[in-house]
Amino acid sequence: MSLNIAIIGAGPAGYYTAEAAQKQWGADVRIDIIDRLPTPYGLIRAGVAPDHQSIKAVTKRYEATNLGAGTRFVGNVMVGRDVSVAELLDIYDAVVLSVGAPHDKPIGIPGDDLPGVIGSAAFVGWYNGHPDFAGLQVPLSHHGAAIIGNGNVAIDCARILAKTVAELEVSDIAQHAVDALRGSAIRDIHIVGRRGPHQASFTTKEAGELGHLERAHPVVRPGDLPPIEEDAALEPGHRKMVTHLRSFADLPRGEKPVTINFEFFRRPVAVEGNGKAERLIVETTRLENGQAVGTGELHAIPCGLVIACIGYRTASIDGVPYDTAKGRFPGDDAGRIFRGLYASGWARRGPSGTIGTNRPDGFSVVEAMVADGLAAKGGDAPAALDGLLAGRGVRSTSFADWQGLDAAEIARARPGAPREKIVSVTEMLGLIG
């Protein structure tokens, strides 16, 4: 009898979990990868920057997993709304929550609800054509934009705002974003970090890229850099990243019209404006035991757009324990919430690491299932799910449906671009027919 596993979320964490289960049980496992969107690949499609196509090549691997025997993609099904986790636990021998962390962590400062303040999940979703954010209004008419956070998401957002339309058009950035960015007045981009260059979590390639943009120029205040001897204590990769920041401090001003200003040692304290964001108020900080402490010295950064890139939270699901403080599911290090229910990827360990970090997560969840001695309870789980969904009038989509959408997106791509994403679920379902 085959083991039946439901994996919720068709992003990297879900596919690596499926891959691990296939390796463990071969022909003796049936896997349904369920996603709320009609399209697979989660963060690869909606999170990874459109101008980082090489990272997206990993979807070939996920495709091979999905085409493996006994493995299905069940799209357009929202767990918690169309089917409950309790029902899935009844039908399947194991359920794995690989739902990522799609919600922005709130900034929690006065004025953060003003129009013009958005989270990176929304902004990244907008330029990547995520159906939830296709209609987002991004104010681009002010010369300033402030990006809060010193991680790679902040760099992605800055780079998208800084690039020329010609640089963007050859990526799979959504057409609505290209159209809006074509008229952008943004010239001064500020990346605001509450700590310093040594504490920033940018990676080397992402930081270095900012030095090679057609019309934008990175600026680091030399006084924000620690004495160069202190770089010796850094891990080699991180030291290289800091070397890029040092080189930005030495760059001549040049002719480029857009600046990307690293505002280190600045803590956001308020967003102000008359009915909309007009400036971000920041307080200068100093480090005490590695933590940012305010000095009381305030500055205003003029901006009509504030993007908070300060981390994400997993969405809670009815009937599943949830750690509100950490913004993710509780459980042990292997990903076990309780015997039969598991979590992998960001839903288990929070929003950190690279795409590849999810791979060992998938394997550890499968090891936990083996250790738990899961046994097949019998029955045709895929048929049971289909019956339940049909009874509720839920129209699910298959991997073959996705292959059709994939071909349609590739066919409608701008010249030089890999695809033009379909950003409306209604349109997707119409095309599937």
Q: Give me the residues that bind ligand NAP (CB under 6 A), please.
A: 52, 107, 148-154, 156, 193-195, 199, 201, 203, 206, 268, 309-311, 351-354
Smallest distance from ligand NAP to CB 155, Å = 7
Task: Considering the complex, state which of residue 352 and residue 424 has its C-beta at the smaller distance from ligand NAP.
Answer: 352
| 8-state DSSP, 40 | -
Task: Considering the complex, state which of residue 137 and residue 354 has its C-beta at the smaller distance from ligand NAP.
Answer: 354
Q: Which long-range contacts link 281-289 to residues 24+ away (Cβ below 8 Å)?
A: 282/192, 285/194, 285/195, 287/195, 287/196, 287/199
Smallest distance from ligand NAP to CB 4, Å = 32
Provide the token pair at 41: 């690949």
Smallest distance from ligand NAP to CB 65, Å = 22
Instruction: Give the whole-angstrom CA distance, residue 66 versus residue 406.
Output: 15
Provide the token pair at 426: 């209604």
Smallest distance from ligand NAP to CB 271, Å = 12
Dihedral-angle region of residue 45 (phi above 0 means left; psi in -120 to 50 means alpha; beta otherwise): alpha
H or E segment and range at residue 291: strand 291-302
Smallest distance from ligand NAP to CB 52, Å = 6
Assign 248 to helix, strand or coil.
Answer: helix
Task: Considering the complex, state which of residue 195 and residue 421 has its C-beta at the smaller distance from ligand NAP.
Answer: 195
Half-sphere exposure of 7 (CA within 13 A, CB side): 36
Instruction: Give the whole-angstrom CA distance, residue 193 versus residue 224.
Output: 11
Smallest distance from ligand NAP to CB 53, Å = 12
Task: Considering the complex, state which of residue 38 and residue 197 has its C-beta at the smaller distance from ligand NAP.
Answer: 197
With tokens 């990676």, the residue in question is 203
Smallest distance from ligand NAP to CB 180, Å = 21
Q: Can you spell out the DSSP letters for 3-27?
A: EEEEEE--SHHHHHHHHHHHHHHGG
Task: Considering the complex, state which of residue 199 and residue 284 has its C-beta at the smaller distance from ligand NAP.
Answer: 199
Smallest distance from ligand NAP to CB 357, Å = 8
Task: Considering the complex, state which of residue 132 and residue 386 has its C-beta at the smaller distance from ligand NAP.
Answer: 132
Task: Considering the complex, state which of residue 266 and residue 419 has its C-beta at the smaller distance from ligand NAP.
Answer: 266
Task: Considering the complex, state which of residue 30 and residue 349 has its C-beta at the smaller distance from ligand NAP.
Answer: 349
Instruction: Give the whole-angstrom CA distance, residue 254 versus residue 214.
Output: 12
Name the H helices within 308-357: 346-349
Assign 284 to helix, strand or coil.
Answer: strand
Instruction: Give the whole-angstrom CA distance, residue 108 versus residue 268.
Output: 10
Task: Considering the complex, state which of residue 194 and residue 348 has its C-beta at the smaller distance from ligand NAP.
Answer: 194
Provide the token pair at 23: 């390796």
Question: Looking at this protein, which amino acid is placed at residue 220?
Answer: V
Using Cβ positions, the residue closest to ligand NAP within the complex turns out to be 151
Smallest distance from ligand NAP to CB 198, Å = 11
